[in-house]
Amino acid sequence: MASPQAERLAEQHRVQQVALRAGVSRDVVALLRDLFDVENADRTWPAIRSILAAIAVQQRGTSATLANTYYGQARAEADVSGAFLPINPAALAEELLKVVLDATGIAAFKRAIALGRTPEEALQIAGVTLSGSVSRLVLSGGRDQILGNVREDRQAVGWARLTDADPCAFCSMLASRGPVYRSKQTAKFEAHDHCACMPVAAWSRDEAWLNHSRDLYEQWQDITQGQSGADARRAWRRHWDNRKGA
């Protein structure tokens, strides 16, 4: 199991990233409220999209910087020998930014209007979808940074998924799989909009398991025994929703 200090550092980092996400979400909602004209949506949207893209790029860099700080602290806590130079953060593709922002911004607003929502309701819906997508793009900076560092760090063995105290069924299922070892070079960190999970680096297989992931792993083995694929996922969702009293 990971040491208490290693888990503390990981949770501290996750909380910092969630705080960054919260600030980004507030900025997105405020920007829509102040600049989006529901009567002239197509005219006002391009300028808003440009500002949102700048926010996403800048704060994604902040997320990557936080991740590198955590990685260095965690590496020192693990008493790993040798120096390590973090990877350069990957840039967001402009076309990807445009597609994501349009789909969760102006398009979401228009879909809500088409379904009979008032302009004010449609703008609120767009605020939720847009803040979710922008914050996911932002936090991908830190997530990608940790995974990239693990791939390049010869001393690292892999990473594990750290959730908040009340993860959704999807995130708890992924966390139940335990560590993703470095040999699986194609493994990606799956995250949905508004997701609060972060990857945690590990430098030994003994410490690759987080306390909560071991418990989730044992629950998964018990709940999905004799099942696989979609059947196992459905069984897990039923278990998770019932456990939470849904």
Per-residue pLDDT of the chain (246 residues; tens, 9 = 90+): 778 898 999 999 999 999 999 999 999 999 999 999 999 999 999 999 999 999 999 999 999 999 999 999 999 999 999 899 999 888 889 999 999 999 999 999 999 999 999 999 999 999 999 999 999 999 999 999 999 999 999 999 999 999 998 899 999 999 998 888 877 656 789 999 999 999 999 999 888 788 788 899 999 999 999 999 999 999 999 999 887 554
Helix residue spans in 36-85 (DSSP H): 41-77
Task: Please report the pLDDT score of residue 244 as a whole number.
Answer: 56
Interatomic CA distance for residues 33 and 119, integer angstroms? 12
Encoded tokens for 165:
């105290």
Quote the DSSP letter at residue 90.
P
Task: Please report the pLDDT score of residue 224 as a whole number.
Answer: 93
Task: Compute the Cα dihedral for 142, 75, 167, 185 and give only its sign.
Answer: positive
Counts of helices then strands in the chain (DSSP H, E) = 8, 3
Asked if residue 159 lies in contact with residue 180, where contact means CB atoms within 8 angstroms, the answer is yes
Total domains, the chain: 1
Task: Please report the pLDDT score of residue 185 as a whole number.
Answer: 57
The number of beta carbons lying within 10 Å of the beta carbon of residue 26 is: 11
- Taking Cα atoms as reference points, which of 135, 153, 244, 241 lies closest to residue 198? 135
Task: Please report the pLDDT score of residue 1 as a whole number.
Answer: 73
Task: Please report the pLDDT score of residue 89 as a whole number.
Answer: 84
Residue 199: strand pairing partners: 161
pTM value is 0.92
Containing structural domain, residue 105 = 4-243
Angle at 51 between CA 47 and CA 53, to 5 degrees: 115
Residues in the chain: 246
Asked if residue 132 lies in contact with residue 104, where contact means CB atoms within 8 angstroms, the answer is yes
Interatomic CA distance for residues 25 and 27, integer angstroms? 5
Asked if residue 154 lies in contact with residue 84, where contact means CB atoms within 8 angstroms, the answer is no
Task: Please report the pLDDT score of residue 245 as a whole number.
Answer: 57
Interatomic CA distance for residues 235 and 90, integer angstroms? 37
